[in-house]
Each structure stands twice: as C-alpha cells, then as structure tokens.
Structure 1
Amino acid sequence: MADSDDEYIGSSGDERGKRASNSRKQKGAGDAGKERWEEIQRSWDNVVEGADGSISAAVVGLLEQNKRKRLLKDTTPLQRGIIRHLVLVLDLSIAMEEKDFRPTRFLLQLSHACDFIKEYFEQNPISQLCVIGMCDGLAKRISDMSGNPVEHISAIRKLRANGVEPKGSPSLQNALDMARGCLWNSPTHGTKEVLIVFGALHTCDPGDIHMTIKAMVQDKIEVRIVGLAAQVAVCSELVKKTNSGSLAGYGVAMDEKHFRDLLMANTTPPPTRQANTNASTLLTMGFPSRFSNPGHPTLCACHSNPITSGYMCPRCMARVCALPTSCPACSLTLILSTHLARSYHHLFPLANWVEVARHDVKKRSPKLCFSCERPFPKLAALPPSSTVAATGDLATKRTSNAPVPGVKAVPSISSTGRYACLDCGKWFCVDCDIFCHEEVYNCPGCEADPEGKEKRQREKEALAAKETAQTGQSSAAQGDAMEIDG
C-alpha cells in the first residue's frame, strides 16, 4: 500500500485548469469555448419586470406559454392505425429504487402508468392493452390483453398494495419475447406496439437479443422506449430497427414532468410506415343494444359475474358488462358509435390556431371570446411579445391556408391573449384553444357556420387550382424560351 501511495502523483488545481482550458480550445468555434452545462437556460432569465415593478405580467405570459406548448405541433393529416394493440412493459428491477425522481422511480412509474392507461383508452377507445413487468431477469404478466382500463389500473395498484418491491435486473429479451406472444394473435387490421419504461443501464438476457430484435422486425412490431437514467446503445438499436430507422420513439426523461410528457406522447397513434397497409380492408363490428333487468341478475359472458345491466351482442345475444370489447362467444368486436367517432380525430386533427397581433387588436377588437363569451384580457395587463420566449412558428405550418382579413400570424406566444382560426376568422381565448384542441377537436366558429365553411373551402380549392395553373403556364413559357435560345 505504501508503494502504491508513493507512486500516485496528484494533479494540482492549476494543472487541471490548464487541461480544461486546452480542451476548450480544441472545441469548434461554434461552441465558443463553453461546455454544454454552461449553456443552461433558466426559466427566470426571460422574466422582465413591469412598469409597476411586479412580475405578474411575465408570470401570465409564462403560464400561457406552458398551455400552448403542447399545441405547437404538426397537424398534418397522416394515415394512422386507430385500432391499436399495445404492450406496456414496466421496469421492476433494483434500478427503480433510485430517488432521483420523487419519491422514487418505482412509485412515480406506477402513478404515471395509471394516468397513461386512462389517457390511452380515452384517446383510443377501440384499442387494447396489456401490462408486463421486468424483474429478477424474468418477465411476468401483470394484466392480460384487454380493452377495459379498470382491469389494468387495478392490476398495477395491486403491485403497491401487495408490497411488491423492485429487485434483480431487467431482461429486455424476455420482455420482448413475452410481448411477441401477447401480440401473436392480434388481427392484421390493427397495429402492434410495445412501450417500455426502462430505468436500468444494462439488461440481463438469456440469449442473443439481436435475434429477438430481428424477430420483432419480421413481426412488424414497433417498439418505443422511455428511459429514466441515460441512453443505452441496445435500446437505440431496438427502436431504430423497429421504427424504420427513426429514433423519435426513444427519449430519456430529465425530470418528472418530462417523463410524463414522454409517456403521454404515446397515446397518439403512430403513423403507418408499412407499404402493404395502404390497401383498404373491411372490418366487421357490432353495435350492441343496452339491457337492464334490476330484479333479475344474469351472468356476463366475459367475466361470469352477476349483472343487472349491460350490453347484448347483436349476433349471438351474449351479454357483456362493458364496452368496447370482443364478444367471448362469437369474437365480434363490440363498440358504440361514440367510440368509433372519437377515434377519427387522430386522422383529421384540428389545425393550430394563430396568434393575433397587437395592431390587429386595435383595428378590430371583439371584446368577448367567441366560444365561452368571457372578456379578453386588456393589452396593458399582458407582457409584450419580446418578453416571452418563442417556442415555434405556427404561421409557417399553415402555409396552405389563405389568410383571413384582420388576422396576422405572429411567430411567438401571443401577447394579446387572442387566437384566431384561419378558416372562420373567429377569435378565442387560450383556455378555449386548449379545450377545443384536446377535448372537442372541432372549431366552434366553423361548426356554427357550416355553409360558410364549405364556401371558404371551395374558394381555397379554386385559389389553389388557379395558382397551379399559373405555375404550369410559367413553366411552359420558360421551356419555350429555352428552346428558342437553343
């Protein structure tokens, strides 16, 4: 020990400072000699005091920015699978005992998993889901494939009620093999997906996981991962190969809120990437009628529990207690018309509304929101647009729509508290903006005037056709000119 201690030569602070300065000099000019941790943007850096010395106006702007952050996304209509079959894989290994997420990774995972299941079936009412856990190098099934969210939530809550604690190491290969078994009998008209919450930095597999990844690709199963520690190479490879080379489905949570956002982002159906899924297929569905016999209970065909009210299959007259589900007798998909209608908003999303500029408010100023009829905030009580950090340009995302007179798109968070629909030109508050995009999925102004909406749509189509014709004529003229010059 004495010899080894004598051989160790510690470096002084000056030497460490020289090495750090030399490493900074070796960086490119774009880094400006700064480390990544030195460029952290704090939320209070953009807060500016108002004329009265308070920061209330800036706080209002930051709250509005948080509300609008989720809506700053692409609303291009894409082909999506609205009948989903998802396997949720939870990490129950010893790595989930870490307390970097409050109170622990394990408890936060269970809480967010219950919220995810509720939101998943709210957004995808005709889809199905099952839950799998990873612990002790094995994979165990927590709940079976079903379309009833109550069963999955109760199964997850039993983990905490029964005193289950994280232990052992996770096994991605065993979890993927069990997920393949759960999705083996899934119909071809539905999507096959696996969502993994992974908190460890390693995986304990009994065999070659790369062979399992190839099998997942052959079965056309898409895998997405939400990490809690750091990015893992095998996880990146798994997501990249099962998502046609895209790594958008792999994210590492930085805090509790980011973890929830990454998890909730998977409630939206992914766009279809397979070329052979473009062919139209017909799917038989049944719309059962509701029955009620208060004095004469009967057994349901799905759980064999006594019920006094439920739904009756239109094909075999079997009785089930909840919808949507598959008939246990004839395997007919049983849903309500509201479930089917609620699933189509993913295929035809409501376009983002644009912000109204201050000078437009002075020219044309409706005092009330068109939807809730609450008065708009005064301009003096709101911060200028320069004090709120811009998070996206909504105007560039709606270039296909014709501008509405009196409405101007501002490439930042609105400093007026007013948002306008480009189709009808009506003005709305930020709360109605959030509600219409996340709950209603329709514009109240467009629905109030359907004839005007159709008329404006025809005008847009005529304008687009005219522009296309002019572009073709100019291209032909250029071609003739080139021939003459030649």
Structure 2
Amino acid sequence: MADSDGEYVGDMSDDDLIDHRVSSAADGDTYGTRSRGHTKGKGDGKKAKGGAGRKAAWEDIQRSWEDVIETADGSITVGEYLEAEKRRRLLRDTTPLQRGIIRHLILVLDMSFAMAEKDLLPNRYLLTINYAVEFVREYFEQNPISQMGVVGMRDGIAVRISDMSGNPTEHIEKLREWAEQQEPQGNPSLQNALEMCRGALFHAPSHGTREVLIIYGALLSSDPGDIHDTITNLINDRIRVSIVGLSAQVAICAELVSKTNGTDVGSYSVALHEQHFRELFLAATTPPVTRTSEQHNASLLMMGFPSRTVASEDHISLCACHNKPSREGYSCTRCRTKVCRLPAECPVCGLTLILSTHLARSYHHLFPLRNWVEVPWTDAGRSLACFSCLAPFPPVSKAKLKAKGKQDSVAGSDVKGASESGRYACQVCWKHFCIDCDVFAHEVIHNCPGCQSDTRGVEAPAGDINGNSHGGPMEIDT
C-alpha cells in the first residue's frame, strides 16, 4: 500500500504490520504507522528502505502560532495576551456615581428571520437565547432587588415571553421553552415591542429605573404607525432604551437610543463577534447613572426583612405568590402572608420583601472597587505568592531588575494593562494579587481580600506575612 507521505511500503500481513509498529516505537519514533525508521519482518529481521533513526517531517513541527501572537506593539505570548484581555475588561471607570439600584428592565429579543443567520455560531437565535439565560443569572446576581421581563419580536408583532418579576428561574424556563419550540420567522416590529414595554413599565415606581434592552439582528422594522410618536411617549415616561445590534447600525435605532438617553449614543453598539456580543450583553447588568432631578431627590422606601420559617409536615400551606403547597417560606412582616422566595413583593399588602444580603450586594454599584495597579519588577521581590490564593509568582532575576531598574514604584504607577511581573497591587492595602484574583475580586465579590482581612484601621507596618510592602498608609474607613 502507498503511504500518505509518498513512501512505498510493500504488502504485509497483519503480523508484519504489528512488528513494524513495535519496532518503530522501540527505535524512538512516536508513532510507528508512518515512521521512516527501522522496519522488521516477522522472519528475516532485515532493515527496510530508509535511514536509521530518521523521523517524519511532521514530527518536528514547531507550533509557533500557539506560543506567539503578533500585535501592534510587538510579539507577546498567548498567556500574556489572555491576561491583557482580562485586564482590559476590568479597567473601567470606577468614579462613584449615583445609580438606581432598584431597576425595572424589559429584555426585548429579535426573533425574526434575520436571527437565522449563521455569522454567529451556531446561529444568531440560539446564541442570543444562551446569552439571554446567562444575562438573567448575572442580572439578578448583580441586582438582587430588581425586576425584569422578556419580550420577543416576530411576525410583525410583539409576544410576551415572561412577565415582570424578580424570580430568575421563571425567566430561564420560559426562554428555554421558546428555544425548543419556536423558530425565528417573520419581520420584527420595534414600535409594537416598545409599546408593550411601555405597558409593562407603566406601574413601575418612581424610585426605580425604567429600562429597555433590545437585541436587534434585522435591518428593518415593520411598524403599524409612526414610531416617532412612540419615542416621544418613551421620553415622557422616563424609559431608557439600549440596543445591541448584530448586523449593522440602523438610523432609527441610533435616534431611539440618543433621544431616550439624553443625547448619549453610547448605549447603542454593534457586536463584532461572539465574545464582543457577550460583553455588550452583560454590560447592561450595571445600573445606569441617574440624570433626572426626580431621581436625584432622596426618597424613603419601606421594605420588610422577613425571617425564614419551616413548618412541620402536618402544616403544609400554600404560598401567596404561586399558590403551591410548601413547608418552607417567608412571612411578610406586615400582614404575615407567606411567600416562597425572596426578593419579592407581597401579593397582599404590596410591601417589598428582601434580605439584608440582597441590599448589601446592590450597594457595591454605588462605591465600586478601585482598579488595582501593575507591580513592576523593582517591587516584585517583596512578594512570593498571591495574598489571596497563595499561587506562586514568577521569580525575580537580576537581569529583570537591571532592565526595569529605572521604573517607578507601585505607589506612583498608573493602571495601564497586563503586569510583566504577574502581580497586581491594591491601592489601599498594597498587597499583591494574581490576575485571577483580580478578576474574581472585581467581578464577583467586589471587595479587596487584603482590605477585608485587616481590621486594625491604622497604618500598616513595612511588611506582612506575605512579604508585601505597603507603599502608603491604610485608608480604611472605620
């Protein structure tokens, strides 16, 4: 039979083929099926044609593309590139601003014929549904005392997928049902979808935000009337509209976003690829900045903090929110009505019922965690491992210190990007962390482990048990 690399091997039996493979492996070849090394017959032991110890050309391939990526600034390794991407997503504006932490959002999904395109794999429709499920989880994780609903656009009308509620499980179940049972078809209608959103947000209280997030894949809108009248009504109702496009910019979408966000067009973006689409989608989990005078005025909101109760097996009762029998639940602090999940609004008296942890998790949007700075090689020797996860840092050599000896210290450095030393320092406690702990602290817990572990509230000494040097006094509020 003829080998794929052009070398001819005579016909052999199964035993000869086995001996050929074994002898090739014994001579140092990785795989004997295509080796040009020694071959041995079953009976004679003669050497086959080809030099001894030779390897196939494909066995010495250097996968340089897996180690180096060419960038505008030069060549960097893949590990450094991924680390720089993580830092790029983290480096956001951390200026404390007044935001509405009690949000009421309607997610509008395009389910028209345009979502059947496969420029985003597997196609726009399935990818949007998967990202929508992820968005619902992240939205209620970052905004536990908020509510949302889901609306779809197809066949020139708007369809209600899930009603306004604070239960993420209901939204996820409805989205998965639509993904399994329905296919994208027809034309979208922005006007019908916006009018349905207006009706759903009509009863939203004044102390909360009214938002609409549209995932739009088409380049047209089949509207029954004048959409400019709908835009005027949205402005009067203080409803903000944000759009993530999947095809190209549409003029009416840019006008809609600009007029409902106070001439700010930053809420309208077009996705370039799957990862960019995910980033734009999940960026809506951050509450918007308050701009109107009504929202700037302080208002008192009455809330209840019920305790969890567990009844015996003989006293199973119905919850007032779903009318389902259950033993566990929460009793309203005002009317003692039983609800099964929190946060929720009491179906009887209308009191907002939450837990103290929900309020604490919403509070980090008002005072975001400051960005951590890169640690140069001159200060990298003061820490051997990450303060949080104890992962070892790259060792510091004398050559690196000489090359970077003229750099400034951590206290005077600015936030730029990936750190060459693999270390990142908090600007308050000056402890060193790895990139994974940097991402986890800023995106999940929103607190610095170094600041939370130090309860002294006084100026820290020159070093700690991790070997980190503090470039300045501790600024912990007591």
Name the TM tier (shorter chain).
Answer: 0.7 to 0.9
Give the whole-Å Cα distance in 2 for the aligned partners of 1:460 and 1:326: 36
2:177 is equivalent to residue 172 of structure 1: no
Equivalent position to 1:374, from 385, 391, 411? 391
Which of the residues 183, 195, 209 maps onto 2:227? Answer: 209
Paired with 2:476 and 2:324, the residues of 1 have a C-alpha distance of 56
Residue 326 of structure 2 is matched in structure 1 by 307
| 1:438 counterpart residue number | 443
Size of the aligned set, in residue pairs, is 392
Shift, 1:96, TM fit: 0.8
Matched, 1:62 2:87: no
Q: Deviations over 1:118-139 (max 9, x none)?
A: 0000000000000001111100
What is the one-letter code of the residue matched to 2:442?
A: H
Q: CA deviation at 1:257?
A: 0.8
Write the letter of the residue equivalent to 1:447.
Q
Secondary structure in structure 2 of the residue aligned to 1:151: helix
- The verdict on how the C-alpha distance between 1:68 and 1:458 changes in structure 2, with shifts beyond 3 A counting, is closer
Letter in 1 for 2:341: A
Query: Any idea what the Cα deviations from partners look like across 1:209-249, whole Å, max 9, x if unmatched?
Result: 00100100011100000101100000000000000000110
1:449 maps to which residue? 454
Q: Any idea what SS the aligned residue of 1:44 has?
A: strand
Q: Give yes or no for contact 2:271–2:280 (8 Å, CA) kept in 1.
A: yes
SS across alignment from 2:94: coil
Partner of 1:292: 310
For the pair 1:155 / 2:180, whether they are aligned, the reply is no
Say if 2:69 is the partner of 1:44: yes
2:356 aligns to what? 337
Q: d(CA) in 1 for partners of 2:415 and 2:396?
A: 16
Corresponding residue for residue 106 of structure 1: 125
Q: How does 1:251-330 map to 2 (within 5 A)?
A: 251-295=269-313, 296-330=315-349
Aligned mates of 1:422, 1:129 — CA distance in 2: 36
Letter in 2 for 1:432: C
Write the deviation string for residues 254-310 of structure 1: whole angstroms up to 9, x where unpaired: 111111110000000011111232111000000111111241321100010111111
Instruction: Please state whether the residue corresponding to 1:291 is helix, strand or coil.
Output: strand
Over aligned residues, Cα RMSD in angstroms? Answer: 2.6
Looking at secondary structure, tell me which structure has more helix per residue: 1
Query: Do the aligned residues in 2 keep the contact of 1:126 with 1:335 (CA within 8 Å)?
Result: yes
Determine the structure 2 residue equivalent to 1:181: 199
Q: Distance in 2 between matches of 1:321 and 1:460?
A: 39
Identity over aligned residues, as a percent? 55
Structure 2 vs 1, CA of residues 453 and 141 (structure 1 numbering), >3 Å: closer, same or farther? farther
Matches within 5 A, 1:117-128: 117-128=136-147
Q: Which moved more, 1:344-353 or 1:434-443?
A: 434-443
Alignment of 1:439-478 (within 5 A): 439-452=444-457
Q: Secondary structure at 2:139's aligned position in 1? A: helix
1:241 aligns with 2:259: yes
How far residue 79 of structure 1 moved from its aligned partner, in angstroms, is: 0.4
Structure 2 residue runs without a partner (length 5+) = 1-67, 461-471
Paired residue secondary structure (2:269): strand
> Would you say the 8 A contact 1:91–1:133 is kept in 2?
yes
* Higher relative contact order structure (alpha carbons within 8 Å, sequence separation ≥ 6): 1
Corresponding residue to 2:428 among 423, 428, 447: 423
Q: 1:457 to 1:194 in 2, by over 3 A?
A: farther
**CA distance 1:101–1:282, shift in 2 (3 Å):** same
Equivalents in 2 of 1:405, 1:45: separation in Å? 29
Structural mapping, 1:384-423, within 5 Å: 408-409=413-414, 411-423=416-428
Q: 1:214 to 1:429 in 2, by over 3 A?
A: same
Partner of 1:94: 113
- Alpha-carbon distance between aligned partners in 2 of 1:81 and 1:59, rounded to the nearest angstrom: 39
CA distance in 2 between partners of 1:180 and 1:116 (Å):
22
Question: In the alignment, which residue of structure 2 is the partner of 1:3?
Answer: none
Residue in 2 aligned with 1:10?
Answer: none
The 8 Å contact of residues 379 and 410 in structure 2, kept in 1 or not, is answered as no
Q: CA deviation at 1:116?
A: 0.4
Give the 3 Å change call, closer, same or farther, for CA 453–122 of structure 1 in structure 2: farther
Q: Give the 3 Å change call, closer, same or farther, for CA 104–447 of structure 1 in structure 2.
A: same
Q: Return the offset for 1:376.
A: 0.9
- SS in structure 2 of the partner of residue 373 of structure 1: coil
Structure 1 residues 404 and 285: alpha-carbon distance in aligned structure 2, compared to 1, 3 A threshold: farther
- Per-residue CA shift, 1:347-401, capped at 9, x if unaligned? 000000000112222xx42112122222212357x999x9xxxxxxxxxxxxxxx
